[in-house]
Structure 1
């Protein structure tokens, strides 16, 4: 059965060539098949579209009007097909990522740079937020992927862990000698503590671990930025709970000092999430593959 779109393609080719035989040759069809297609379209529209003469065919007034619309429509379809090929070949498109500022700065930037160098025509849309916020916008379809702090428990999401990270505590010069030897978590919580805000996945992970040991937190400061944790610790406002891998510049320059614990907090991960029910775009797929290729 010939579809309506196929009929319009035949109509367009006949109108363009002003000949059934030339249209048939271009479409790799027989001339009777082309004639049948035009007759079928004319019956369905109840309108004569061509004047038939021994020298060929010409469009009627109605046919000329229809030809302009069909010409525009077919061009739009061709343009759409070309765009799809561009997206598949990564010569166009957009990569939408939900991620927090700290993970962007200390983990994601090298991958964004490498991806941009390889696929310069792909645009980035970076939406910042906490892990809970980025997962919310991911599930709302506002971003393609979310890069966030694990653990993440959600059966609707595909989760890929990339790097291990370690939660630790750091202090400034004032507390350096006081905390010269390993201390227990019970001793630690008696000191002025600096933590991220309660809605942070990093804060929740450490807090849940301490609660499992019967230790309840009561921080002196609750901040919205990992960099601020380091700055507050540096000026001796308290003991800051930070991600060690994201604090190496401060530690190496001895702007802050790591507190030695008798019991280390278990390792967790930075990872990537996307919806199981929605196929990744070509750009997102390539980006995930790039990070996985460097997975530790």
Structure 2
């Protein structure tokens, strides 16, 4: 059975061509089928839409009124279909990403650059916030995906590990004596400790590990950024808890030094998070696929 939308498509073609036979050719239909469709539409509307004559078909007053609206509607439908194709081909669109300062600088930037080169018309909307704030934004629909320090205790979120990281302690020149032997957590807490603020997921992870070793945390300094942790350690203000993979420049230049531990802190992951059971946008799907593909290549090489 022909749908109402199809009837209107046929109606527009007949009105534009002023001929049932010409409309049939354009629609790849038979002329009787076109005639039957127009008659069906007229029955449903209880209105005559065309004057028929051997020379063709012309709109009635009611037909002209309907044509103005239907032609506009068909144009909008066509535009909508084109926009969907553009979204599918990623020639337009927006990708909303949540991320913290440190992960953005040391991990995400290269992927943003790569994605922009491949899909230059996709706009980025970046939300910089804490892990807790990013999780709330995901649940509210304000973000497509977020990059967080895992693990997260949140059953509503899908968590896709994508980059392994290690938590270490670093010191400046005046504390280099700590490098002479591996240190226990009991020894570490005797020193001025430099940590991120308590709301940080990285801080919580290390704090929970230290608690499992039977020691409690009482930092001398609580800072808002990873870079400040490194700077405070560099000028010998204490022992800083940092992520090794994001501190390589300081370590390679011997601006700070890694303190060996008797029991190293177990590694963890940075991960992509998104709402469970909610389909990702096409742009977000491509972005996640790009990162997964890069990780697969890294494992193979």
TM-score category by the smaller chain?
A: over 0.9
Q: Distance in 2 between matches of 1:210 and 1:62?
A: 80
Cα distance in 1 for residues equivalent to 2:35 and 2:270: 64
Once the two structures are superposed, the pairs formed by residues 241-260 of structure 1 within 5 Å of their partners are: 241-260=241-260
Q: Give deviations 1:103-122, integer Å, cap 9, x for gaps.
A: 11111111111111111111
Q: 2:212 matched to 1:216?
A: no
Give the equivalent residue in structure 1 for 2:173.
173
C-alpha distance in structure 1 between counterparts of 2:37 and 2:4, whole Å: 10
1:40-189 alignment runs, 5 A limit: 40-177=40-177, 180-189=180-189
CA distance in 1, matches of 2:293, 2:46: 61
Equivalences, count: 296
Per the normalisation by structure 1, the TM-score is 0.95
Q: Does the 8 Å CA contact 2:192/2:220 hold for their aligned counterparts?
A: yes
> Where does residue 36 of structure 1 map in the other structure?
36
- Secondary structure at 1:206's aligned position in 2? helix
The match for 2:294 is: 294
In structure 1, distance between residues paired with 2:21 and 2:15: 12
Normalising by structure 2, report the TM-score: 0.93
SS at match of 1:177: helix
Name structure 1 gaps, 5 residues minimum.
none
Aligned to 1:206: 206
CA deviations on 1:175-198 (whole Å, 9 max, x unpaired) are 223554322101111211111111
Instruction: Report the alpha carbon displacement of residue 263 of structure 1 after superposing the two structures with TM.
Output: 1.5
Please identify runs of 4+ aligned residues in structure 1 that moved more than 6 A.
none
Tell me the C-alpha RMSD between the 2 structures. Answer: 1.5
Structure 2 gaps of 5+ residues are: none
The 2-side partners of 1:180 and 1:239 are apart by 15
Return the alpha-carbon distance in structure 2 between the equivalents of residues 178 and 210 of structure 1: 18
> Per-residue CA shift, 1:149-183, capped at 9, x if unaligned?
11123333222212211101112223223554322
How much does 1:215 deviate? Answer: 0.9
Looking at structure 2, the residues matched to 56 and 101 of structure 1 have their Cα atoms a distance apart, in angstroms, of 69
| 2-structure distance, mates of 1:119, 1:179 | 47
1:280-291 → structure 2 map (5 Å cutoff): 280-291=280-291
Range with greater deviation from structure 2 (265-274 or 172-181): 172-181
Contact 2:194 2:223 in 1 (8 A): yes
